[in-house]
Structure 1
Amino acid sequence: MMFAGVIWSEIGQATLETLYMVGVSTLLAVILGLPLGVVLYLCAPGSLLENRWVYQAASVVVNIVRSVPFIILLIAIIPLTEWLVGTSIGVNAAIVPLVVGAAPFYARIAETSFREVDPGVIEAAQAMGASVWQVIFRVLLPESRPGLIAGATITAVTLISYSAMSGVIGGGGLGDLAVRYGYERFETNVMLITTAVMVVLVQVLQWLGDRAALYFARRSR
């Protein structure tokens, strides 16, 4: 019973660590990925600030990072992680590769959301003398808000699975717990419980994101 109590205590702590990693990583991924998505949209062929070289350079960087499997990315940027947080293990260390992997992912989602904005609305704003910055902040971002929120939800859900992989290198959270007990100690019940908790987290995050996106979609009508 004492052993079971310890396990449940560790599962609770690991769940909080996972929520912390996913929350901070999602926030930073949006903060970094949104401006990159704006650049991709504005500099794309036929867009407001068409610039082939900037668009291709940004697109190549985004595609390269997105194409690297996350487990390889975890190991490849260990020097960067150690430089930023002073260690390569633990919850805070896991946030670095999570953000590096998620920011380009969200940038593409943001670019796609911007492309779905009615061009007529943008043209009308320009016809009234709106500058590029005004188009971005008064038209592009408000009109694409539901898509951006949905994209943040997808990013957060993806980061849950990424955070589990960080457990392989001692990143903390549910993934680390599953490795230490489910894999190294052959505690199958712990593996099943951690998996079930992650499934619940995904369902809750997806539900909250869908509700938020629907709310802002209704407000924009």
Structure 2
Amino acid sequence: MPTAARLGIGGPVGSGKTALVESIVPLLKKQGIEVAIVTNDLLTTEDADRLKSGGILPSDRIIGVETGSCPHTAIREDPTMNLLAVQDLEILYPNLDLILIESGGDNLASTFSYDLVDAYIFVIDVGAGDDIPRKNGPGFVQADLVVINKIDIAPYVGADLNLIRQQAPVHRRGKAIAYTNCKTGEGLDQVIGFIEEAVLFRSPSSVISIAN
């Protein structure tokens, strides 16, 4: 049976993981990419319910997993529940190109097992401070792509965005970084380009519309 590419999306609570998913799924669909989603929450399916209510995909293309334990356990040490959810989606939709697996909110140590995903994105937001790159959290350092989100709020939270832009590439050692504002669409073309090239092994689209 054909298998879809799997992309993890992790990061701390409130960094904007679900907002990023909400923003990129319509853009992926515009590129003809067949998408489904698995979300992780401790004791609820809150994120899955939010995505379903937003109508970005048919509700049966979105599965909520209740991990019942530390969020990174279900994406790293024992990803069985997520693998079963992926299997269910692939059986239901054999033509899927991509399954997004959103982790529950965790800390800077959150990383994905490559037994579960082909690549993963780590999302932080500037509201957490401009010292995040210097903390060298495994998620930030090791992720295939880091998304530095909510760049629009930097002036209001005392974060120096220029300092982040200077220091993040140093601590990432040249690995991919995107700077995003999910409300305006700024930077989302970089995220889509990464997915097309590094996850789906396609040539990145030359033009990506962020209009609704």
TM class by shorter-chain length?
A: under 0.3
Name whichever structure is richer in strand by fraction. Answer: 2
Q: TM-score, normalised by structure 1?
A: 0.27
Q: TM-score, normalised by structure 2?
A: 0.28
